[in-house]
Structure 1
Amino acid sequence: MAHFCYEVKDPQGNRVIGRANGPSHMDVVRELSKVGYEVIRVWQKPPYLPGTRIWTYYRRASLSELSLLTRELAMFFASGIGLVRGLECCEEQGFSKHVSQAAADVAQGLHEGRSLSQALALRPDVFPPLYVKLVHAGEISGSLDQVLFRLSDYVEKELLLSRKVQSALAYPALIFAICLLLTGFLVYFLFPLFISFFNGLDIQLPAITQSLLAVTTFMRQPWVILLLLLSPIALSKVYDMISRTDSAVEWFSNFLFEIPVYGQLKKAVVLSRFCSTLEILLNAGIPQFTALNVTAEAMDNMACTRSLKAIALRIRDEGDSLAEAVRRDPFYPQMLSSLIMVGEEVGNMPRVLNLAYKTYEMDVETTVGRMTVLLEPLILFVMGVVVGYVLLAVFLPIYSMLDGL
């Protein structure tokens, strides 16, 4: 039996959140419907273990799969084949088991009389709220095929953006990992071969060799090795604890923007995601207040999420325009509020947001290049210092012994 969480409405219209066990999503949905609940969404909740949130993250559908699935659905719907048949075909298209099961659950929901947006909402682990809101807008306006194509383009933009960030971090991360492995090899395997040799020498060992001997002896203690082996689990536990505290998550979100170079990259990514997400929502005819709240939920940064929700409240409660509300928030640059003001004046906000997205996308590319240029020599320098330190510690006593002959 798998563990699930659910959000439903009872017969009196009250929202109820709870947990249930069942073989699959649709079995839980059927059981909840039998007792008179209106099911809003159901999502899988694995039993708590250290690293649960990391595990859940990797259980989500990849952007490449979501983009391909959306484009295929749009083509099936536009060609008149129908969504149910399209979803059944998608089950056989070589998607991961997780996504194929989600497609089957959505098809089953359509068979049971739900709309596409209602069926998608049952699997928030694959289809995020932004996705469901846009599909719902397409159903109301009668332009579902156009919305699905726009959604596919949007997901492809997100995929391209994430790949640019990954490319910026991949090479430095690889060099750093090699540096750690090389250091571990030298400390645990190579240098211990020389320990007995050095102990047999009747010479005063250099200070650098004595320091490396002390480090190697310490690192080879059983309790230190056990601590290193258990450290990933401990770090995962700490991550889970922090991620459950909103104040800690918000502090860390703000801290990321303060890191030199990387903070600029993170901010450019957040701003580009804000522009592209709000653009597609407004293009679909979703009201501005709702669009801002959905955009806030689509952000992967708690500080930005709260900022956007505050902007939405200023527009609703204080009567600010979007440009004025954005201008009052110190997180957003002056250029963005000026562009939004132009969009409000000409009455074409989606087009202006698309231009802003392209601007911040270029900022991402520029910052990625700067990060690569700065980090590569820095990491190579650190690696050179570590390797040079070990080599000097090994060969200086040998040279001293040869000089004494």
Structure 2
Amino acid sequence: MAYFKYKGRTGRGQVRQGRVKAGTKKEAIETLKGQGIALSQIQEVNSILYKDITIGSPVKPKEFVIYLRQFSTLIEAGVSLLQSNMILSKQTSSKGLQQALADITQRLESGQAFSDAAESHRKIFPPLFINMVRAGEAGGNLDEILDRMAVYYEKQYETRQKVISALTYPLVVGVIAIGIVIFLLSFVVPRFTDMFASMGGELPLITQFVIGLGEFFKVYWWLFLLVPLVSIVAFKYVQQNNERFAYSVDLLKLRMPIFGPLMQKAALVRMTRSLSSLFHSSVPILQSVEITEKIVENRVIEKVLKQSRTSLARGESMTGPFSHHWIFPPLVTQMISVGEETGSLDHMLGKVADFYDSELNHTTDRLKTLIEPIMIAVLAVIVGTIVASIAIPMFSLFEQIN
């Protein structure tokens, strides 16, 4: 949504000027015409004061899943689209979703189709949902489509939570390790520095290193905050503005020794389940592949899907590009080939999605079992190094006293 500054006259000839909020300039003009204002000028206000600032996604995945399930239930119960949106706009706890549903309700009252109304809020409603709803409106089976979408996004949310769960443990342990190191370097090591200096003699290399690190942190502690922050911001900026770099990052994610297979399975589940849902709803195959390219969230797979779409446009099989790329296991290409030959492509893709969803469960369980001892060992080495740097000179001191 954006703000537009306008100037015009009412039917009585009175001059009116001000600002109006709308998704596009065309919508702003229609809104003002509906208020009986004949416009003489209108332009978008670009000042940051009139920008809708959001951090991350306007609607959390969990909130969107809950909304879809409630929406599907209301439609299946025979509640109209207009009433369903009115009810859900009042019930949802998400401010972004509440505003979007309120706007969609107004559009529905003016006679606009739900899919077109939802498309004006692309940050909330993904392309897959919009196109599936459009297919449901055309086919007269919107209730079935919404139920299928609710199941789809519930499974997608579960898949996302599995990946997050697998990554949470090492992240938490890493933060704890950093906190312990900062505490030891800031409060423990400095207490022994003066004592070691009064002892005289040459300190062990490990002690010199830890003391030097403590002194460096004491003076340049701000670097430990600034460098990660600047690195993250720079990384995100380059990733968004350099397609080649972004592709390399996605490739690296899939190539990682431990987490790569997890990322690969999650991406395959997302791709195959999306295609299965689109094919089942009779969305044309070229359009289905194009939509999946936008929502797969991995540029490596996106590139192969584009090649597959080109292959389909030439009248060839969609599995050709898949079979020549390492990211697609033989099971995927074989099942898709069988689906193409038997005319049950949606069913086969659903089976592939279920298989890799199950594999994702096993992979996350194995990762948790594997990562726990590794992270404990890493933490023990870090803390042990600092403790040893203090203990070794202490032993030397005791030997001198005795």
TM-score bracket for the superposition, by shorter chain length: 0.7 to 0.9
Task: Please tell me whether residue 156 in structure 1 is matched to residue 143 in structure 2.
Answer: no
Deviation readout 1:65-99 (Å, 9 max, x if unpaired):
11211122222222232122211211222421112
Q: TM-score, normalised by structure 2?
A: 0.86
Provide the C-alpha distance between the structure 1 equivalents of 2:19 and 2:157, rounded to a whole number of angstroms: 33
Normalising to structure 1: TM-score of the pair?
A: 0.85
Q: Does 1:351 align with 2:350?
A: no
Q: Structure 2 CA distance, aligned partners of 1:25 and 1:200? A: 73
- Report Cα offsets for 1:348-370 as digits up to 9, x if no partner: 11111111111111221222123
- Alpha-carbon deviation of 1:143? 0.5
Unaligned runs of 5+ in 1: 6-20, 37-44, 49-54
Paired residue secondary structure (2:283): coil
Counterpart of 2:263 in structure 1 is 266
Structure 1 residue 319, shift from structure 2 partner: 1.2
**Structure 1 contact 3–47 (Cα < 8 Å) conserved:** no
C-alpha distance 326-33 of structure 1, shift in aligned 2 (>3 A): farther
For 1:2-401, list aligned pairs within 5 A.
24-25=21-22, 30-33=27-30, 58-221=56-219, 224-238=220-234, 239-316=236-313, 318-401=314-397
Return the offset for 1:278: 0.3
Structure with more relative contact order (C-alpha pairs < 8 Å, separation 6 or more)? 1
- After superposition, the C-alpha distances for 1:142-172 in whole angstroms (9 at most, x for unaligned) are 0011101100000001001001101111111
Given that 2:294 and 2:302 are in contact with CA atoms closer than 8 Å, whether structure 1 keeps it comes out as: yes
- Deviation at 1:32? 4.8
Equivalent pair of 1:73/1:86 in contact (CA under 8 Å) = yes
Which amino acid in 2 is paired with 1:296?
E
How far did 1:215 drift?
1.3
Contact (CA 8 Å) 1:22, 1:28: kept in 2 or not?
no
Identical amino acids, percent of aligned pairs: 24
Q: Deviations over 1:326-350 (max 9, x none)?
A: 3344432222111112112222111
Distance in 1 of aligned mates of 2:354 and 2:299: 24
- Larger mean CA deviation between 148-157 and 340-349 belongs to 340-349
> Using the alignment, how far apart are the partners of 1:237 and 1:3 within structure 2?
26
> Matched residues in 2 for 1:392 and 1:101: separation?
59
**Match of 1:191, SS?**
helix
Query: Does structure 2 conserve the Cα–Cα contact (< 8 Å) formed by 1:63 and 1:158?
Result: no
Match of 2:156, SS state, is: helix
Give the residue type in structure 2 aligned to 1:360: Y
Per the alignment, do residues 135 and 175 of structure 1 end up closer, same or farther by CA in structure 2, a change over 3 Å counting?
same
* Mean Cα deviation higher: 360-369 or 299-308: 360-369
CA contact (8 A) 2:304 2:321 kept: no
CA contact (8 A) 2:238 2:245 kept: no
C-alpha RMSD of the superposition: 2.6
Cα gap change, 1:262/1:205 in structure 2, threshold over 3 Å: closer, same or farther?
Answer: same
Residues 2 and 24 of structure 2 are in contact (CA less than 8 Å); yes or no, is this contact kept in structure 1? no
Q: How far is 1:274 from its partner? A: 0.9
Higher radius of gyration, 1 or 2 = 2
The residue type equivalent to 1:287 in the other structure is P
Q: Distance in 1 between matches of 2:24 and 2:322?
A: 45
Preserved contact between residue 63 and residue 156 of structure 1 (Cα < 8 Å): no
- For 2:337, the aligned partner's letter is M
Is the Cα–Cα contact under 8 Å of residues 106 and 120 in structure 1 kept in the other structure? yes
Q: Which runs of 5+ in 2 are unaligned?
A: 5-17, 34-45
Relative distance call for 1:220 and 1:202 in structure 2 (3 A) is: same
Give the drift of 1:57: 6.4
